[in-house]
């Protein structure tokens, strides 16, 4: 089924789509674009009623909602939306080239992502690899968070597919927001700024970094304020196992990232580095002493040098025929974070 047939069916459902057009671009695939000469801020652009949502059935207690949706997509033969989705190729390119020598900043997260993928694959074996992969990524790239009427709070159980709403592309400077309206029982898109004719309608999927966007959706943004640089590996090199356990016991280990922009260093990073030289008087909550701040500054500078060297090495080793643009953007992202953090480190602990 092609786009026109899908739109013909969708328009027959009674949903008002007169504010928008579906158009295709090479950079983003399909997307929604304004059809009105001017749409004011706070206007309702689109409203999709709950009866059109595709929700997990939860028939099989061993499967998550996400996995129920995989099976639904592969079994459903008559739904026009599913027929249209069959024409979409949702698989992020990196899955097609698993042997590329990805830098650690990517490969660690790719492994986590693939672990989750494989957990579902093991549970759903009645389809071939291509079928499963297609359905998995249709859901991964198009589902919407939606609280289901069940006790589980797990994200994978609280989601659904919403036809047509899933044409909206991601932006970190979006012009709309989407929400479920519990009075009208529909998912609504409302403008957060005025929109001109032919302007693309976008919303923020989540505050994803470029690494996450590449892994989950297969694209990166040229500028992304949500970028992060994980420094777990470099910290592992300067901490003993015992110290790592200590940091983990305070739940600090999972938030060891640097960010770009004029942010302060995160407390978890400061405290983790402090532990490398201050084992006797270290406490998770107290400010380091003046003397320790001095050491901290030196340690941070050394850490940044190590992180930079590792990034440079990893990116040199990433010989790829397929991701030149992504490689350049990600490399630039990481160097920007290191440079911004260096400025912060220089400015920090100014009283020293």
**Is 100 a residue that touches ligand SAM (CB under 6 A)?**
no
- Characterise 15 by phi-psi region: left (phi > 0), alpha (psi -120 to 50), beta (else): beta
* Concatenated DSSP letters of 269-303: HHHHHHHTT-TTT--SSSPPPHHHHHHHHHHHHHH
Identified binder of ligand SAM from the candidate list 66, 94, 203, 217, rule CB under 6 A: 217
Q: Judged by CB, which is closer to ligand SAM: 166, or 333?
A: 166
Identified binder of ligand SAM from the candidate list 1, 7, 13, 29, rule CB under 6 A: 29
Q: Given the rule CB under 6 A, which of 103-111, 216-224, 254-262, 313-321 is the region that contacts ligand SAM?
A: 216-224
**Is 187 a residue that touches ligand SAM (CB under 6 A)?**
no
Give the CB-nearest residue to ligand SAM: 29
Residues 6+ apart with CB under 8 A from 284: 250, 252, 271
Q: Cα–Cα–Cα angle for 137, 164, 67, nearest 5°? A: 30
Identified binder of ligand SAM from the candidate list 3, 7, 30, 332, rule CB under 6 A: 30
**Is 95 a residue that touches ligand SAM (CB under 6 A)?**
no
Q: Name the E strands within 76-193.
A: 144-145, 159-160, 169-170, 176-181, 186-191
Identified binder of ligand SAM from the candidate list 219, 277, 282, 349, rule CB under 6 A: 219
Identified binder of ligand SAM from the candidate list 19, 169, 178, 227, rule CB under 6 A: 169
Identified binder of ligand SAM from the candidate list 12, 27, 125, 126, rule CB under 6 A: 27
CB of 229 to ligand SAM, least distance (A): 21
Please identify which residue in the block is written with the tokens 């003397």. Answer: 291
Q: Given the rule CB under 6 A, which of 177-185, 211-219, 275-283, 310-318 is the region that contacts ligand SAM?
A: 211-219
CB of 253 to ligand SAM, least distance (A): 30
Q: Given the rule CB under 6 A, which of 28-36, 61-69, 120-128, 324-332 is the region that contacts ligand SAM?
A: 28-36
Number of residues that bind ligand SAM (CB under 6 A): 16
| Separation between Cα atoms, residue 173 and residue 153, nearest integer Å | 29
Q: Which helix (H) or strand (E) holds 49?
A: strand 44-49
The candidate with the shortest Cα–Cα distance to 263, out of 175, 156, 337, 209, is 337
CB of 169 to ligand SAM, least distance (A): 3
Q: Judged by CB, which is closer to ligand SAM: 29, or 284?
A: 29
* Concatenated DSSP letters of 208-257: --HHHHHHHHS---SS-TT-EEE-HHHHHHHS-HHHHHHHHHTT-GGG-E
Identified binder of ligand SAM from the candidate list 56, 65, 218, 288, rule CB under 6 A: 218
**Is 335 a residue that touches ligand SAM (CB under 6 A)?**
no
**Is 166 a residue that touches ligand SAM (CB under 6 A)?**
yes
| C-alpha to C-alpha distances, 6 to 11, 45, 76, 187, 321, nearest whole angstrom | 9, 20, 15, 19, 36
**Is 164 a residue that touches ligand SAM (CB under 6 A)?**
no
Q: Judged by CB, which is closer to ligand SAM: 171, or 243?
A: 171
User: Which tokens sit at 102?
Assistant: 């990805």
Residues 6+ apart with CB under 8 A from 162: 48, 52, 53, 54, 144, 187
Residues 6+ apart with CB under 8 A from 264: 344, 348
CB of 324 to ligand SAM, least distance (A): 16
DSSP code at position 173: S
Q: Given the rule CB under 6 A, which of 49-57, 117-125, 217-225, 252-260 is the region that contacts ligand SAM?
A: 217-225
**Is 170 a residue that touches ligand SAM (CB under 6 A)?**
yes
Answer whether 15's CB lies under 8 Å from 186's CB: no
Residues that bind ligand SAM (CB under 6 A): 27-31, 88, 141-142, 166-167, 169-171, 217-219
């Amino acid at each position: 089924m092609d786009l026109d047939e899908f739109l013909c069916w969708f328009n027959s459902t009674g949903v008002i789509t007169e504010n928008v057009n579906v158009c295709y671009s090479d950079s983003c695939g399909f997307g929604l674009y304004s059809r009105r000469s001017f749409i004011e801020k706070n206007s309702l652009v689109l409203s999709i009623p709950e009866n059109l949502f595709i929700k997990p059935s939860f028939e099989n207690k061993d499967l998550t909602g996400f996995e129920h949706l995989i099976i639904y997509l592969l079994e459903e033969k008559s739904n026009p939306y599913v027929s249209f989705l069959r024409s979409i190729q949702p698989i992020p390119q990196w899955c097609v080239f698993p042997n590329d020598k990805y830098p650690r900043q990517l490969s660690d997260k790719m492994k986590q992502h693939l672990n989750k993928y494989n957990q579902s694959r093991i549970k759903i074996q009645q389809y071939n690899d291509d079928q499963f992969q297609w359905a998995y990524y249709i859901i991964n790239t198009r589902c919407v968070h939606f609280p289901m009427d069940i006790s589980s709070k797990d994200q994978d159980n609280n989601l659904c597919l919403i036809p047509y709403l899933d044409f909206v592309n991601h932006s970190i400077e979006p012009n709309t927001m989407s929400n479920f309206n519990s009075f009208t029982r529909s998912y609504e898109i409302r403008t957060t700024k005025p929109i001109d004719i032919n302007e693309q309608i976008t919303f923020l999927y989540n505050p994803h970094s470029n690494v996450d966007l590449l892994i989950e959706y297969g694209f990166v943004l040229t500028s992304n304020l949500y970028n992060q640089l994980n420094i777990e590996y470099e910290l592992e090199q300067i901490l003993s196992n015992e110290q790592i356990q200590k940091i983990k016991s305070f739940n600090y280990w999972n938030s060891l990232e640097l960010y770009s922009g004029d942010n302060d260093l995160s407390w978890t990073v400061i405290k983790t580095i402090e532990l490398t030289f201050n084992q006797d008087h270290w406490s998770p909550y107290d400010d380091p002493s003046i003397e320790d701040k001095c050491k901290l500054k030196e340690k941070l500078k050394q850490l940044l040098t190590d992180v930079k060297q590792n990034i440079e090495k990893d990116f040199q080793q990433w010989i790829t025929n397929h991701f030149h643009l992504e490689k350049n953007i990600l490399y630039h992202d990481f160097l920007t974070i290191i440079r911004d953090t260096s400025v912060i480190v220089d400015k920090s602990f100014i009283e020293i």
